[in-house]
Structure 1
């Protein structure tokens, strides 16, 4: 690892730590005042902010654990810990989203008084916290997908804070308390698809499924079209962690034709596959030859 790359990782870790501490601290305040004010919208926004805290923690975890080398027990290292954490968090967040929807329905049947002053104050403070966190993270979002995802999570939470502010003002001036559960339900409905997508993607990685967005049939066709390859089988593509894809494949060629490995390497690179293991077998011989590629 180059010195500049190492410094970049350290800077990203510091930025994520600062944003995590800031957002996590405010999350506690938002939950407490959500119960004090009786605002479901504020609690729903707290659930959304919890997704931000989880995203920031996972991004920081990815940096910390990703730096740990593989050992005799875990030859792929500890990178899958990020996916395990994501699956657990997504399941918990999905349950929270469902609770918000059920509570919103109950409150529409039996309205609850909402204290708009603490609701408004906390929502404004939440907006400021998100703005500060976004400013902290924006520096590393241009050159790191990990940092960019964390930055987008925080920016998305700005919408929730703005929605709660608008809701508090409308309730304050119109007295329409039913706006609060409606607003809470809308925020919950916005969070649920995101957490479901995260859960689905995490489970797919844990089951070593084909990475989302990768067309296995198209990949197979391209590999079979490489000059010299007469047979292709045992093609497997999976992810160790998010965005890190592996491939193994058994290829049969009349002879160990020069250029086959290079051609497969180029195809794998186009599909975003970082680690490739080839088993090349001569069609007229019983032996085979294994080749390991790292595009």
Structure 2
């Protein structure tokens, strides 16, 4: 909530300053922060909603994907902003406007300071000690990328304004807007790809499926004939396993064979007697 509050305040300042002082880089940074304010609000809502309904029977596999959906939505906002940012920058390259450099630079520096504070607040979640816990939390990644992108565009705005003021590189102001749009687009595409995989129930990694297969097939003549493992939240999975064997045991026996460190929280196991008429 602190990040949302300070981002919202700085957003208003930068948009107003960009319009008043004629800086495309500053205006782009302000609009960038506007999209991020909305995205961060979505992310915050996703966390609150997921926690509030964590034990609701309405969600068969829990609310883990709510965070992923929040990250996906944030990535879409990033993509849309990147297109707007690139378009406006190209227009400024074609039709330059006069810039009040001193005032614009001051606001850009203030924006960088505010964005840096936001990066520090969210950045502690990416400390190595928490890497395993948070590496697949797409909602957190989305929020972190938003504030990191804000800090980057503020930095680009400062360099562009300094170059235009002292070196006469008037084109640098809109050019930095284009560079920022490209970087933001790359981040958003990566996040869209990762969140879409989870939302579409893509099969878990080969490492996880191999460990499940090896642990179960090491018993007697047991063979897995059908295996599906998919993410239902950050680092937690659901699995359905179909087994054939000459010496069937209760499903709980095979469930206990699955390594506990894989994050499998929902397991459905089908056990079938092996048909001797068919080669296993």
User: Which TM-score band (shorter chain)?
Assistant: 0.7 to 0.9
Query: How many angstroms apart in 1 are the aligned matches of 2:30 and 2:214?
Result: 48
The residue aligned with 1:41 is 25
Query: How many angstroms apart in 1 are the aligned matches of 2:36 and 2:259?
Result: 37
Higher RCO (C-alpha under 8 Å, 6+ residues apart):
2
**Alpha-carbon spacing, 1:248–1:43, altered in 2? closer, same or farther (3 Å):** farther
The residue aligned with 2:267 is 277
- Out of 169, 183, 187, the residue aligned to residue 180 of structure 2 is 187
**Alpha-carbon spacing, 1:246–1:51, altered in 2? closer, same or farther (3 Å):** farther
After superposition, give the CA deviation of every residue in 1:226-281 in whole Å (9 maximum; x if it has no partner).
33353323322222234332222112233245964333234xx3xx4332414141
1:171 matched to 2:164? The reply is yes
The residue aligned with 2:5 is 21
Query: How many angstroms apart in 2 are the aligned matches of 1:96 and 1:136?
Result: 24
| Superposition map of 1:102-181 within 5 A | 102-137=87-122, 142=127, 143=130, 145=134, 149=141, 150=143, 153-155=146-148, 157-181=150-174
Query: How many angstroms apart in 2 are the aligned matches of 1:48 and 1:163?
Result: 13
1:250 matched to 2:242? The reply is yes
Shift of 1:100: 1.9
Say if 1:23 and 1:49, in contact at 8 Å, map to a contact too.
yes
Say if 1:226 and 1:263, in contact at 8 Å, map to a contact too.
no
Instruction: Specify every segment of 5 or more residues in structure 1 that has no aligned partner in the other structure, as ranges.
Output: 1-16, 286-295
Given the two structures, how large is their TM-score scaled by the length of structure 1? 0.74
- Out of 52, 55, 65, the residue aligned to residue 80 of structure 1 is 65
The residue aligned with 1:95 is 80
**Alpha-carbon spacing, 1:200–1:278, altered in 2? closer, same or farther (3 Å):** same
**Alpha-carbon spacing, 1:53–1:225, altered in 2? closer, same or farther (3 Å):** farther
Cα RMSD after superposing both structures: 3.2
Shift of 1:22: 1.1
Shift of 1:178: 0.6
